[in-house]
Amino acid sequence: MAMADVTVRGAGAFGLSIAWICARRGARVQVIDPFGPGAGSSGGLVGALAPHVPENWNPKKAFQFDSLLLAESFWSEVEATGGVSPGYGRTGRIQPILDERGLELARNRAENAKSLWQGKADWQVIRSDEAGPWVPLTPSGFVIRDTLSARMHPRRACAALVAALAAMGVNVLTEEEDKGVVVHATGIAGLEALNAQIGKPVGNGVKGQAALLRFDAGETAPQLFADAVHIIPHADGTLAIGSTSERDYDDPKSTDGQLDDVIDKARAAVPVLHGAEVIERWAGIRPRAKSRAPMLGAWPDRKGHFIANGGFKIGFGMAPKIAHTMADLLLEDLDTIPQGFRVSDSL
């Protein structure tokens, strides 16, 4: 087979991951982003790779499950090739259980996980005093602990992919002519362009705000999810907290009292965080497809052009599997896009 040419427009989680897998499979790849790697929502702070709950199973949940299982080998190969750590760690997640109804629901999900997660990860209900010292307050005395959740540092992950691609002779360019098939992984700009072409909304931007604290919970500490807030200990001794979900906003990059509320919720759930210095506040726009799943496939009426967009809150978690799925399509003409992920599902 002749070596294929692939142009990836967009150097965020999806674009860099697709470029990486295509290059690994022998394609000639170029990545183009006028703003540089991780300039959009992929340059955030949180990095929670967390699964959907194990119930009401559907193609989206199954795809995400497979991607989370792929993540360890994916990021390990990226780091081994480029020499830059993405900050990945499958350290699990702990969630408080608020009341008896929540306890019953969590135990039912634990039973579901035994079959749905195929013995490859656990969803457990345990007493909070069995979870170790790093645990949120829990009114019921019980918590959920899963072993599938992982964390990575978004900016470090982008840098790791850039370094791995560079080691294979692929650099991120600010501008260049398209060569071969073209993948548009351009986030909110790509959704807006598609909206304009189709003449109706197929996706939109959702603003998110997050914070980074100077707090070292330990390199192997699990992430916490309490009161709808993600609390993510990173391997570099910082801790990320996020995030808001704002459909209406004036300034996409400003932070405000809504972020203060998120920080307050995290400190209420984990009192040891009181007094920890906030070292960065971040805001950005995350691309959300109308279907709520990532949007993958051919760009309508643009031969040779494809879309990989709509990562919203799960972009990095979905990226390993999406990279392989898009490489199948681009290089092998093999369509393995699941139900609900196709561009047509958002039209």
Give the model confidence (pLDDT) of 71-98 as tens digits. Answer: 999 999 999 999 999 999 999 999 999 9
Residue 346: the pLDDT is 85
Per-residue tokens: 129: 């005093």
In a domain, 275, yes or no: no
In a domain, 230, yes or no: no
Residue 38: the pLDDT is 96
Give the model confidence (pLDDT) of 9-62 as tens digits. Answer: 999 999 999 999 999 999 999 999 999 999 999 999 999 999 999 999 999 999
| Cα gap 259→12, rounded to integer Å | 24
Residue ranges making up the domain that contains 48: 5-89+151-202+290-346
Q: Quick one: which of 231, 229, 249, 252 has its CA closest to 240? A: 231
Contacts 24+ apart (CB under 8 A), 171-174: 171/30, 171/31, 172/11, 172/31, 172/32, 172/33, 172/36, 172/37, 173/30, 173/31, 173/32, 173/33, 174/32, 174/33, 174/34, 174/36
* pLDDT band for position 305 (cuts 50, 70, 90): very high
Per-residue tokens: 170: 């692929």
We report the CATH number of the domain holding residue 167 as 3.50.50.60
Based on the structure, what is the number of domains in the chain? 1
Q: Decide if 317 contacts 293 (C-beta within 8 A).
A: no
| Cα gap 98→132, rounded to integer Å | 19
In a domain, 302, yes or no: yes
DSSP element (H, E) containing 296: strand 295-298
Per-residue tokens: 205: 């931007």
Residue 304 dihedral angles phi and psi, to the nearest 5°? 80, 5
Q: Decide if 41 contacts 187 (C-beta within 8 A).
A: yes
**By percentage, how much of the chain surpasses pLDDT 70?**
99
Residue 208: the pLDDT is 97
Inter-CA distances, 91 with 110, 147, 315, Å:
18, 7, 19
DSSP H helical ranges for 98-179: 100-116, 154-167
- Is it the case that residue 335 has pLDDT exceeding 80? yes
Give the model confidence (pLDDT) of 264-283 as tens digits. Answer: 999 999 999 999 999 999 99
Per-residue tokens: 301: 């009426």
* pLDDT band for position 119 (cuts 50, 70, 90): very high
Tokens 């009161």: give the residue: 227
In a domain, 127, yes or no: no
In a domain, 134, yes or no: no
Residue 235: the pLDDT is 94
Per-residue tokens: 193: 């362009």
Per-residue tokens: 66: 């497979």
In a domain, 274, yes or no: no
Residue 4: the pLDDT is 84
Q: Decide if 242 contacts 208 (C-beta within 8 A).
A: yes
Q: Give the CA angle between residues 225, 230, 236 to the nearest 5°.
A: 115
Residue 1: the pLDDT is 42
Q: Could you count the other beta carbons within 10 Å of the beta carbon of residue 105?
A: 16
Tokens 């013995």: give the residue: 119
Say what the pTM is.
0.96
| Cα gap 331→312, rounded to integer Å | 26
In a domain, 262, yes or no: no
Per-residue tokens: 318: 């979905």
In a domain, 228, yes or no: no
Residue 2: the pLDDT is 56
For residues 178-192, give the mean pLDDT.
Answer: 97
